[in-house]
Amino acid sequence: MAKSLTVKVLDKGFVRLVDVMGDDRRIAQAARVSYGGGTKTVREDAALIDYLMRHRHTSPFEMVEFTFHVKAPIFVTRQWFRHRTASVNEISARYSVLKDEFYEPGPAELRAQSSTNKQVGEGSLPEDAAREAAAQIGEVYREVYATYEKLLELGVARELARSVLPVGIYTEFYWKQDLHNLLHFLKLRLDHHAQEEIRAYARAVAGFVQKQVPLVWRSFEEHVLEAVTLSAGERDAAAELLDRQEFAEKLRQAGLSKSRVREALEKVFGR
Protein backbone atom coordinates (compact mmCIF):
# COMPACT_ATOMS: atom_id res chain seq x y z
CA MET A 1 0.00 0.00 0.00
CA ALA A 2 1.17 3.50 -0.79
CA LYS A 3 1.77 5.17 2.55
CA SER A 4 0.46 8.50 1.29
CA LEU A 5 -2.87 6.87 0.43
CA THR A 6 -3.30 4.85 3.61
CA VAL A 7 -4.24 6.08 7.07
CA LYS A 8 -3.88 3.76 10.06
CA VAL A 9 -6.98 3.65 12.26
CA LEU A 10 -7.39 2.05 15.70
CA ASP A 11 -4.88 -0.69 16.56
CA LYS A 12 -4.95 -2.78 13.36
CA GLY A 13 -7.29 -1.02 10.96
CA PHE A 14 -6.83 1.39 8.07
CA VAL A 15 -8.56 3.49 5.42
CA ARG A 16 -6.94 3.40 1.99
CA LEU A 17 -7.94 5.65 -0.87
CA VAL A 18 -8.23 3.41 -3.93
CA ASP A 19 -9.62 5.78 -6.54
CA VAL A 20 -11.24 9.17 -7.05
CA MET A 21 -13.25 10.34 -10.02
CA GLY A 22 -13.55 14.11 -10.26
CA ASP A 23 -12.64 17.17 -8.23
CA ASP A 24 -13.89 20.69 -7.48
CA ARG A 25 -13.80 21.60 -11.17
CA ARG A 26 -15.98 18.64 -12.11
CA ILE A 27 -18.68 19.85 -9.73
CA ALA A 28 -18.57 23.40 -11.05
CA GLN A 29 -18.64 22.18 -14.66
CA ALA A 30 -21.61 19.92 -13.95
CA ALA A 31 -23.50 22.80 -12.37
CA ARG A 32 -22.77 25.18 -15.24
CA VAL A 33 -23.89 22.78 -17.97
CA SER A 34 -27.49 23.72 -17.18
CA TYR A 35 -26.89 27.21 -18.55
CA GLY A 36 -23.93 26.64 -20.84
CA GLY A 37 -21.25 28.50 -18.88
CA GLY A 38 -17.64 28.07 -19.95
CA THR A 39 -14.43 27.65 -17.96
CA LYS A 40 -14.27 29.95 -14.95
CA THR A 41 -11.65 30.95 -12.41
CA VAL A 42 -11.01 29.12 -9.15
CA ARG A 43 -12.57 32.06 -7.29
CA GLU A 44 -15.73 31.80 -9.36
CA ASP A 45 -15.77 28.02 -8.88
CA ALA A 46 -15.51 28.52 -5.12
CA ALA A 47 -18.45 30.96 -5.12
CA LEU A 48 -20.56 28.58 -7.21
CA ILE A 49 -19.75 25.57 -5.02
CA ASP A 50 -20.54 27.59 -1.91
CA TYR A 51 -23.90 28.57 -3.39
CA LEU A 52 -24.69 24.95 -4.25
CA MET A 53 -23.77 23.79 -0.77
CA ARG A 54 -25.73 26.34 1.21
CA HIS A 55 -28.82 25.99 -0.98
CA ARG A 56 -28.63 22.17 -0.96
CA HIS A 57 -28.37 21.81 -4.75
CA THR A 58 -26.86 18.35 -4.40
CA SER A 59 -26.80 16.71 -7.84
CA PRO A 60 -23.50 18.32 -9.00
CA PHE A 61 -21.76 16.80 -5.97
CA GLU A 62 -22.86 13.36 -7.15
CA MET A 63 -20.51 13.74 -10.13
CA VAL A 64 -17.50 13.02 -7.89
CA GLU A 65 -16.94 9.48 -6.57
CA PHE A 66 -14.54 8.02 -4.01
CA THR A 67 -13.51 4.38 -3.59
CA PHE A 68 -11.97 3.27 -0.29
CA HIS A 69 -10.50 0.02 0.99
CA VAL A 70 -11.28 -0.22 4.70
CA LYS A 71 -10.20 -2.58 7.46
CA ALA A 72 -12.34 -2.21 10.57
CA PRO A 73 -13.91 -4.22 13.40
CA ILE A 74 -17.28 -5.71 12.52
CA PHE A 75 -19.07 -3.56 15.11
CA VAL A 76 -17.81 -0.49 13.24
CA THR A 77 -18.82 -1.82 9.83
CA ARG A 78 -22.33 -2.58 11.06
CA GLN A 79 -22.74 1.12 11.82
CA TRP A 80 -21.01 2.07 8.57
CA PHE A 81 -23.29 -0.12 6.45
CA ARG A 82 -26.35 1.65 7.80
CA HIS A 83 -25.51 4.20 5.10
CA ARG A 84 -27.15 2.38 2.19
CA THR A 85 -26.12 4.81 -0.55
CA ALA A 86 -22.89 3.15 -1.67
CA SER A 87 -21.56 0.14 -3.55
CA VAL A 88 -19.86 -2.21 -1.09
CA ASN A 89 -18.06 -5.55 -1.23
CA GLU A 90 -16.87 -7.21 1.99
CA ILE A 91 -14.58 -10.16 2.62
CA SER A 92 -16.62 -13.37 2.95
CA ALA A 93 -16.05 -15.64 5.94
CA ARG A 94 -17.87 -18.36 3.98
CA TYR A 95 -15.01 -18.46 1.48
CA SER A 96 -12.07 -17.28 3.58
CA VAL A 97 -10.67 -18.09 7.00
CA LEU A 98 -10.67 -14.88 8.99
CA LYS A 99 -7.38 -13.74 10.46
CA ASP A 100 -6.67 -13.70 14.18
CA GLU A 101 -7.05 -9.92 14.32
CA PHE A 102 -9.30 -8.27 16.88
CA TYR A 103 -9.76 -4.72 18.09
CA GLU A 104 -8.08 -4.63 21.50
CA PRO A 105 -8.49 -1.25 23.15
CA GLY A 106 -5.95 -0.37 25.78
CA PRO A 107 -7.03 0.52 29.33
CA ALA A 108 -7.00 4.23 28.51
CA GLU A 109 -9.34 3.68 25.56
CA LEU A 110 -12.04 1.88 27.52
CA ARG A 111 -14.97 4.17 28.29
CA ALA A 112 -17.53 3.96 31.07
CA GLN A 113 -21.23 3.68 30.30
CA SER A 114 -23.00 7.03 30.22
CA SER A 115 -25.49 7.57 33.02
CA THR A 116 -27.73 9.72 30.81
CA ASN A 117 -27.55 8.06 27.38
CA LYS A 118 -28.04 4.32 27.01
CA GLN A 119 -26.04 4.06 23.78
CA VAL A 120 -23.04 6.23 24.66
CA GLY A 121 -19.84 5.63 26.54
CA GLU A 122 -18.22 8.61 28.23
CA GLY A 123 -15.42 9.23 30.66
CA SER A 124 -12.78 6.75 31.74
CA LEU A 125 -12.95 3.68 33.92
CA PRO A 126 -11.09 3.47 37.23
CA GLU A 127 -7.49 2.43 36.55
CA ASP A 128 -7.75 -1.05 38.07
CA ALA A 129 -11.06 -1.79 36.36
CA ALA A 130 -9.69 -0.60 33.00
CA ARG A 131 -6.64 -2.89 33.23
CA GLU A 132 -8.78 -5.87 34.18
CA ALA A 133 -11.30 -5.15 31.42
CA ALA A 134 -8.56 -4.90 28.76
CA ALA A 135 -7.09 -8.21 29.95
CA GLN A 136 -10.51 -9.87 29.88
CA ILE A 137 -11.15 -8.69 26.33
CA GLY A 138 -7.81 -10.08 25.11
CA GLU A 139 -8.38 -13.39 26.89
CA VAL A 140 -11.81 -13.87 25.36
CA TYR A 141 -10.47 -13.16 21.89
CA ARG A 142 -7.73 -15.77 22.26
CA GLU A 143 -10.17 -18.38 23.54
CA VAL A 144 -12.80 -17.80 20.89
CA TYR A 145 -10.30 -17.81 18.02
CA ALA A 146 -8.87 -21.11 19.30
CA THR A 147 -12.43 -22.49 19.22
CA TYR A 148 -12.88 -21.19 15.67
CA GLU A 149 -9.69 -22.93 14.55
CA LYS A 150 -10.73 -26.14 16.31
CA LEU A 151 -14.10 -26.14 14.55
CA LEU A 152 -12.34 -25.77 11.21
CA GLU A 153 -9.99 -28.66 12.09
CA LEU A 154 -13.02 -30.81 12.90
CA GLY A 155 -14.34 -30.17 9.43
CA VAL A 156 -17.08 -27.70 10.33
CA ALA A 157 -17.96 -25.54 7.33
CA ARG A 158 -16.48 -22.04 7.39
CA GLU A 159 -19.96 -20.54 7.08
CA LEU A 160 -20.91 -22.14 10.42
CA ALA A 161 -17.57 -21.97 12.24
CA ARG A 162 -17.60 -18.18 11.86
CA SER A 163 -20.70 -17.98 14.06
CA VAL A 164 -18.57 -18.14 17.21
CA LEU A 165 -16.52 -15.06 16.28
CA PRO A 166 -17.35 -11.77 18.07
CA VAL A 167 -17.98 -8.39 16.48
CA GLY A 168 -14.54 -7.21 17.61
CA ILE A 169 -12.84 -9.19 14.83
CA TYR A 170 -11.55 -7.20 11.87
CA THR A 171 -13.13 -7.38 8.44
CA GLU A 172 -12.25 -5.64 5.17
CA PHE A 173 -14.40 -4.08 2.48
CA TYR A 174 -14.38 -1.82 -0.57
CA TRP A 175 -16.69 1.19 -0.42
CA LYS A 176 -17.60 3.34 -3.45
CA GLN A 177 -19.79 6.40 -2.89
CA ASP A 178 -20.58 9.68 -4.58
CA LEU A 179 -19.50 12.86 -2.80
CA HIS A 180 -23.00 14.06 -1.92
CA ASN A 181 -23.78 10.90 0.06
CA LEU A 182 -20.23 10.69 1.43
CA LEU A 183 -20.61 14.16 2.93
CA HIS A 184 -23.85 13.04 4.56
CA PHE A 185 -21.98 10.06 6.04
CA LEU A 186 -19.31 12.42 7.38
CA LYS A 187 -21.87 14.84 8.81
CA LEU A 188 -23.31 12.02 10.93
CA ARG A 189 -20.16 10.07 11.77
CA LEU A 190 -17.96 13.05 12.67
CA ASP A 191 -20.60 14.26 15.11
CA HIS A 192 -19.69 13.99 18.78
CA HIS A 193 -22.72 11.76 19.37
CA ALA A 194 -21.25 9.04 17.11
CA GLN A 195 -19.21 6.23 18.66
CA GLU A 196 -15.54 7.18 18.95
CA GLU A 197 -14.31 4.18 16.95
CA ILE A 198 -16.33 5.04 13.83
CA ARG A 199 -15.46 8.71 14.30
CA ALA A 200 -11.81 7.70 13.97
CA TYR A 201 -12.57 6.17 10.58
CA ALA A 202 -14.66 9.17 9.56
CA ARG A 203 -11.73 11.47 10.34
CA ALA A 204 -9.50 9.39 8.07
CA VAL A 205 -12.04 9.54 5.24
CA ALA A 206 -12.50 13.27 5.80
CA GLY A 207 -8.78 13.87 5.36
CA PHE A 208 -8.88 12.35 1.88
CA VAL A 209 -12.01 14.28 0.93
CA GLN A 210 -10.55 17.58 2.12
CA LYS A 211 -7.42 17.11 0.01
CA GLN A 212 -9.31 16.08 -3.14
CA VAL A 213 -12.06 18.73 -3.06
CA PRO A 214 -10.80 21.61 -0.87
CA LEU A 215 -13.39 24.12 -2.12
CA VAL A 216 -16.21 21.72 -1.36
CA TRP A 217 -14.76 20.94 2.06
CA ARG A 218 -14.54 24.61 2.99
CA SER A 219 -18.20 25.14 2.13
CA PHE A 220 -19.20 21.85 3.78
CA GLU A 221 -17.58 22.93 7.04
CA GLU A 222 -19.24 26.35 6.89
CA HIS A 223 -22.77 25.35 5.91
CA VAL A 224 -23.17 21.76 7.11
CA LEU A 225 -20.54 20.32 9.42
CA GLU A 226 -20.25 23.29 11.78
CA ALA A 227 -23.74 24.67 11.12
CA VAL A 228 -26.78 24.33 13.37
CA THR A 229 -30.50 24.23 12.62
CA LEU A 230 -33.04 26.28 14.56
CA SER A 231 -36.64 25.24 15.07
CA ALA A 232 -39.36 27.74 14.20
CA GLY A 233 -39.76 28.57 17.89
CA GLU A 234 -36.03 29.06 18.40
CA ARG A 235 -35.82 31.29 15.32
CA ASP A 236 -38.73 33.45 16.49
CA ALA A 237 -37.17 33.85 19.93
CA ALA A 238 -33.84 34.88 18.40
CA ALA A 239 -35.58 37.37 16.10
CA GLU A 240 -37.21 39.08 19.10
CA LEU A 241 -33.84 39.52 20.81
CA LEU A 242 -31.86 40.72 17.79
CA ASP A 243 -31.81 44.11 16.15
CA ARG A 244 -32.00 43.62 12.37
CA GLN A 245 -29.56 46.40 11.48
CA GLU A 246 -27.01 45.48 14.15
CA PHE A 247 -27.20 41.84 13.11
CA ALA A 248 -26.65 42.78 9.47
CA GLU A 249 -23.61 44.87 10.40
CA LYS A 250 -22.11 41.99 12.40
CA LEU A 251 -22.55 39.70 9.38
CA ARG A 252 -20.80 42.21 7.12
CA GLN A 253 -17.96 42.55 9.61
CA ALA A 254 -17.62 38.76 9.55
CA GLY A 255 -16.89 39.03 5.82
CA LEU A 256 -20.17 37.70 4.44
CA SER A 257 -21.13 38.80 0.94
CA LYS A 258 -24.23 40.90 0.25
CA SER A 259 -26.17 37.86 -0.89
CA ARG A 260 -25.23 35.87 2.23
CA VAL A 261 -26.15 38.78 4.50
CA ARG A 262 -29.53 38.96 2.79
CA GLU A 263 -30.05 35.22 3.13
CA ALA A 264 -29.10 35.27 6.82
CA LEU A 265 -31.54 38.11 7.53
CA GLU A 266 -34.30 36.19 5.77
CA LYS A 267 -33.56 33.09 7.86
CA VAL A 268 -34.03 35.00 11.10
CA PHE A 269 -36.50 37.78 10.29
CA GLY A 270 -38.27 36.46 7.22
CA ARG A 271 -38.62 38.21 3.89
Q: Is the domain of 194 the same as that of 207?
A: yes
Per-residue pLDDT at 1: 41
Predicted TM-score (pTM) of the model is 0.91
Q: Is the domain of 37 the same as that of 128?
A: no
Quickly state the pLDDT bin for 124 (edges 50, 70, 90).
confident
Whether residue 104 contacts residue 138, with contact meaning beta carbons closer than 8 Å, is answered with yes
Q: 56 catalytic, yes or no?
A: no
Q: Is the domain of 84 the same as that of 192?
A: yes
Q: Is the domain of 153 the same as that of 208?
A: no
Q: Cα(21)–Cα(65) distance, rounded to whole angstroms?
A: 5
Q: Is the domain of 119 the same as that of 86?
A: no
Check pLDDT > 60 for residue 236: yes
Nearest by Cα to 167 from 198, 204, 193: 198
Q: Is the domain of 30 the same as that of 160?
A: no
Range of the domain at 145: 106-167
Quickly state the pLDDT bin for 34 (edges 50, 70, 90).
low
Q: Which of 194, 210, 225 is the last residue of a domain?
A: 225
Quickly state the pLDDT bin for 96 (edges 50, 70, 90).
very high
Q: Is the domain of 52 the same as that of 12?
A: yes
Check pLDDT > 70 for residue 241: yes
Whether residue 14 contacts residue 4, with contact meaning beta carbons closer than 8 Å, is answered with no
Q: Is the domain of 14 the same as that of 82?
A: yes
What does the pLDDT look like over 172-218, one tens digit per residue? 999 999 999 999 999 999 999 999 999 999 999 999 999 999 999 99
Q: Is the domain of 43 the same as that of 77?
A: yes
Quickly state the pLDDT bin for 3 (edges 50, 70, 90).
very low
Q: Per-residue b/e over 196-218, b at no fewer than 16 CB within 10 Å? A: ebbbbbbebbbebbeebbebbbb
Check pLDDT > 70 for residue 35: no
Number of folded domains in the chain?
Answer: 3
Quickly state the pLDDT bin for 38 (edges 50, 70, 90).
low
Q: Which of 136, 167, 198 is the last residue of a domain?
A: 167
Q: Is the domain of 181 the same as that of 216?
A: yes
Per-residue pLDDT at 43: 85
Residues 6+ apart with CB under 8 A from 99: 170
Q: Which of 16, 162, 189, 260 is catalytic?
A: 189
Q: Is the domain of 93 the same as that of 30?
A: yes
